[in-house]
Every structure is written in C-alpha cells, then in structure tokens.
Amino acid sequence: MKQLVLIFLIALSLLACNNVTKAPSEAHNNNAFFLPPPTTYNYTAIDSVKLFYREAGNRNNPTIVLLHGYPSSSHSYRNLIPMLATHYHVIAPDNLGSGYSTHLDPTTTKYTFDMLADYTEKLINTLQIKNYVMYMQDFGAPVGYRIMMKNPKRIQALIVQNANAYLDGLTPKRQNFFRTAQTDTSQEKHDFLYGLTSKDAIINKQYVFDLDSTNINIQSPDAWTHDLAFLRSKKDRDIQVQLFKDYNTNIIRYPKWQHMLKDNQPKTLIVWGKKDLKFNYKGAEAYLRDLPNAELHLLDAGHFAAEEKTRDIAKLILEFLSKNGIE
C-alpha cells in the first residue's frame, strides 16, 4: 500500500512539473503576436503608362483608396497603410507624374487634374474595385472629387484631411496665388512657380512651415527626402509647375463639388491639421454647411497631418467606419 501511495505521489509530482514546463508555451500560444498584413508594391499598365500603387489587407474587406497631395506620393501613407490594413483592404496610388508612376515628358504632355483623375479612376476600375472609401489630402481632393462627380454612389464614405473644397479654406492671398498661376503666362511667373519645387521650398515652405516646437520632432525627414528624389530633373519639376497652373480649375469647380456633396450626403470624416496655414481650418468647418452630419476633428498638426498624427488618424478612421457599418 505504501508503495502504491509513493508511486502515486511521484506521478503527481511529474505531472505538475510537466504542466509548469508547458505553461510558458501555452501562454505564448494564447497570446500570439499581432502583426499587420504586409504591404506590396505594384505596377499596372494603363494606356501605355505604368501606375504604381501600394496595397495591403484582405481584398474581401471594404477598400480604402488613399489619394496623396503635393509634392508627395503614396509614400506619405507608408505608416498609415498597415494600421488601416488590419481591418480593410487599402490601395494607395502614385499620381501620374509623381512617385514611382510614369513621368511623361511635360513638353509633349500637358498635366492637368482632369488627366490625373482619369488615370486614377482607370486604375481603380482595372483593380475591379467597385465601391470604396476615399481618403483625400491636398491634390487628392481635386483628383478625388472629379472621380466622385462621375458616380457619387460608388463612394461608401469620405475621409477629408486638409483637402479643400471651399473658399473658406483659402485666404484671399492664396486664392490670388492660384488665380495668377493660371492667368499670368509670363516667364517671370513661370520661374517663380518653378522655384517652389526647389529643395529649400519643399522643406521649408511645404513641410515645416506650419510646425512649431511642439510637433517639429515628429515630422519625419524621410517625407521630403523621398519627394525630392522625384524632383531632381527639370522635367519632373515642370510637371508640378503645370499642375500649379491648372489648380485654379479646382477652385472654379468648388460650387459643383459642394452641390454634389449636399445632394448625396456621403458619410464623411474630416480630420484636419488645424495649424495648416495654406489650407486653413475654416475650410474644414465649411464642409458642415453642406454635410451637417459629418464628423469633424481639428488635430494639433499642420498640412501633413498624416505624417504627424498617424496613430490618431488611424484610430479615428477605424472607429468612424465601424460605427457607420463599413466593416
């Protein structure tokens, strides 16, 4: 009997030791590391040119299309993409003439926002994306609104980040800048606009002009370093000059875009860097005249809020889409 009890106690002891040994492994399995989906880097041929786009997330999930601004590319969303791709399928294209997309010679091709929108829409159609959420920043607004005007019902929701559609967001001086960029055809004006694509202008008049000591250290120099890599040649800089000259066509269309928004009432999230001096926060508040149900957040950031407040914006987007049933 004593031997049986001893054998039992030994067996019980071995079992306990075995459980202790397995505990860390079991804990590891029960708390597996969470990693976002990988981002892929792709080209698609559209009408004899190549358009580049970043893609991440499950294609069976709703799609978010990220439209970038000047002077950047889809690179501006490099940090935002994996955060959104945890729940959504994300596409971020480079405009024709920007980033890794084809840079057609501006001496033989006139760059306009109509052309950018046309190619971006063809890319979306080629990827067989029927309905999607559209995120717009800066130049992304005139591209996005042109696409949306053709078929507003394809847009499941709008995310507006320092993307103007109202004169309120432009000071009289800024309005005059765009107007004269279109109407003044002098060499002097051209040279002035060309100067805005220089290294000094890209860094100091685009990226850090609206930053202060509280947020300058969270603006990555990777942003302008990447942009400048695609603005090294005269051809590349002239492409952006042509778009400066065409920008007033967007301002002229503001009333039509506003009417479209008012008529269709898309679900809209506005996340706006309130320190932006070029597209000021009044442009964000103006959306509420036509979209009274829009959700507005003024962030402690500048024009490139997605660079400064990536996590904040990702959280706001995920919460907004979830509570609006887009998931």
**Token pair belonging to 95:** 């405009």
pLDDT given for residue 216 in this prediction:
65
For the chain, domain boundaries: 39-323
Is it the case that residue 47 has pLDDT exceeding 70? yes
pLDDT given for residue 214 in this prediction:
67
Q: How confident is the model at residue 30 (pLDDT cuts 50, 70, 90)?
A: low
User: What are the distances in angstroms from CA 301 to CA 8, 130, 167, 214, 318?
Assistant: 68, 33, 21, 10, 19
pLDDT given for residue 12 in this prediction:
45
Is it the case that residue 213 has pLDDT exceeding 70? no
Nearest to 147 by CA among 173, 122, 179, 121: 121
Is it the case that residue 9 has pLDDT exceeding 60? no
Is it the case that residue 220 has pLDDT exceeding 90? no
Nearest to 196 by CA among 206, 187, 188: 206
271-281 average pLDDT score? 96
pLDDT given for residue 20 in this prediction:
42
pTM of this structure: 0.89
Is it the case that residue 29 has pLDDT exceeding 60? no
Greater confidence, 134 or 220?
A: 134
253-279 average pLDDT score? 97
| CB of 210 closer than 8 Å to CB of 275 | yes
pLDDT given for residue 7 in this prediction:
43
- Angle (CA) 70-74-79 rounded to 5° is 115
d(CA 240, CA 246): 10
224-233 average pLDDT score? 96
Is it the case that residue 82 has pLDDT exceeding 80? yes
d(CA 224, CA 76): 10
Is it the case that residue 24 has pLDDT exceeding 80? no
Mean pLDDT score of the chain: 91
Amino acid at 122: K
Q: Count the helices and strands in the chain (H runs, E runs).
A: 13, 8
Nearest to 265 by CA among 150, 155, 147, 129: 155
268-287 average pLDDT score? 97
Task: Name every residue whose Cβ is closer than 8 Å to that of residue 190 and which is 6 or more positions away in sequence.
Answer: 241
75 labelled catalytic: no
Least confident of 70-74, 87-91, 206-210: 206-210
Is it the case that residue 271 has pLDDT exceeding 70? yes
pLDDT given for residue 317 in this prediction:
98
Q: How confident is the model at residue 288 (pLDDT cuts 50, 70, 90)?
A: very high
Is it the case that residue 21 has pLDDT exceeding 80? no
**Maximum Cα–Cα distance for the chain, whole Å?**
109
Instruction: State what percent of residues in the chain have pLDDT above 70.
Output: 88
- 103-151 pLDDT, tens per residue? 999 999 999 999 999 999 999 999 999 999 999 999 999 999 999 999 9
CATH for 39-323, options being 3.40.50.1820, 3.30.70.141, 3.40.50.10330, 3.40.50.620:
3.40.50.1820
